Amino acid sequence: MTDSSRIWNRHGKQYLDLKLEKSAFIAFVEFSSDMVLDVSEAATLSKQKWQMKPSIFHLGEEVALDLAEAMAIDPAMWAQARGADLLAGRPPRRVLLGDLRYCRSCLQVGNHSPLFQLPQLVLCPIHLEPLRMGCPHCGHAIPTNALALARNHFYCGACDHNMASERRRASVGCAVGHPSVERFAALRRLVTDPPAPGESRSELRCDRLAEVAASPVLVRLHHAHTLWGDPSMGLGLLRIRTESFRLAAEDGPLNRPKFFALVRGAVIGAFEELATRLAKHVRLKEMPPGVENAMHSAARVDLRVSTVAAAFWQTAAAFEVQRFVLGELPPPAAKAQPFWSWLPAHTGAMRLLVARQVQALFVRSLIRMSKLRYGVQVAWSELPDQALFLLPWRLRPTAEPGGLEFEVRTHVDLNTVDRLASRYRRHWLIEAPEDASTLGLVTSPAAGKPSLSLPGDPPLGDSGAVSQP
């Protein structure tokens, strides 16, 4: 039963409409402006005053219902305005950004969709403009908790910049026009549609959504891993190069030792193929002296080495096969392989993906090393930036019985390897000058900055199986 004493919206204004795309941020700002709420009054809108500080998109269910009651809004409409239909059972903090993310053209006239709080969306589907965070004037983050919204409305709390300047002009003599929910319906279906039966996908496992949203590169990666729609649908989707392969389904699960053995074989095969391509441009020979020890420590090695060869051996170290490529030693017994949890549980798809991942990491290492000058600047033991080379993929059944379609999103292949190896075949890392400070060389800007790291592989039991699609 509704407590009428808690209803603030006594004039009966409808802040949400099933036919209009409108977020909880817009609805609450309009409500607090109409009611002329101050911060102390906003804190009393919920019986759980101490829970009013989280973002309006992250509220607990009880607090959210209190706000819906105070605003006289249907709880189901309020839930959709907060993006509850986008969660798929996950906590809101792991799905939706807390600080405001917006399309500038939309916000200027007082429009905002809860879909904009998804970090994997890159463009506004209406204006095809990049979604952004922070005040457009000073760059300060825009909090979306009820207390901040009651205080600032559409203004930046840091510089007092009006982010919805066109809304005031548009509202003189007429109501602000919000876009139809139908304009976002196809995008909402794409975002909320779960994988089909028998379908598996890669996942960019990062809970720090604010860190993702702050990096245009990571936003695009998140987009590539989660949104597999056709860009021609006109939903603001990116055009991403995708390779597609037709495979046959496999029967029965693979136990982990067998799967790990297959992965190790695929990795070594990928490095043999890579070495064959590189041999046309440089001489790989054996691993440079001193590098083996440096790969297991933070030590630096002052040496002269071809940049292409250095990138090859660093990539091999990342996959823990530096001692087994080029036929130096026989492969060891099967054990957990690096990045194994990222791979599809299908032998053919796994081999295709491993080859592309080896090529992608080699290219990334080569480009980074091409910006260095001295061998001592190479961090041989540096963990790879997994987010930038563990490629988005999707494995799903085809219409034909027993068939599978495997899709990989990548900008790297063996032709890319050939082109870059040819470009940098004469580029060498040289020994540092005798009077140079090793610390100064290592900490120079050219040595690079640490980047995002992802959680490690899940722990293994004594037994278990890797299921086949």
Instruction: Delimit the domains of the chain by residue range.
Output: 4-182, 246-448
List the chain residues with pLDDT less than 50.
Answer: 1, 170-173, 445-463
Q: Rounded to an integer, what distance in angstroms lies between the CA atom of residue 327 and that of residue 342?
A: 27
Provide the pLDDT for residue 451.
37
Helix 256-278 vs helix 347-369: crossing angle, to nearest 10: 50
Q: What is the pLDDT of residues 66-87, one digit of tens each?
A: 889 888 899 999 999 999 999 9
Provide the pLDDT for residue 325.
81
Provide the pLDDT for residue 436.
63
**What is the torsional sign of CA 427, 428, 432, 433?**
negative
Sheet arrangement for strand 200-201? 200-201, 393-397, 403-409, 242-248
Provide the pLDDT for residue 125.
93
Q: What's the gap between Cα 260 and its chain centre?
A: 27
Of 23, 8, 20, 21, nearest to 71 (Cα)? Answer: 8
Provide the pLDDT for residue 28.
93
Provide the pLDDT for residue 460.
45
The letter for the amino acid at 331 is P
Q: Are 344 and 408 in contact (CB under 8 A)?
A: no
Provide the pLDDT for residue 447.
46
Of 303, 307, 271, nearest to 288 (Cα)? Answer: 303
Q: What is the pLDDT of residues 399-416, one digit of tens each?
A: 888 899 999 999 899 999
Q: Does an H or E element contain 305, and which?
A: strand 305-306
The model's pTM is: 0.84
Q: Rounded to an integer, what distance in angstroms lies between the CA atom of residue 255 and that of residue 248?
A: 20
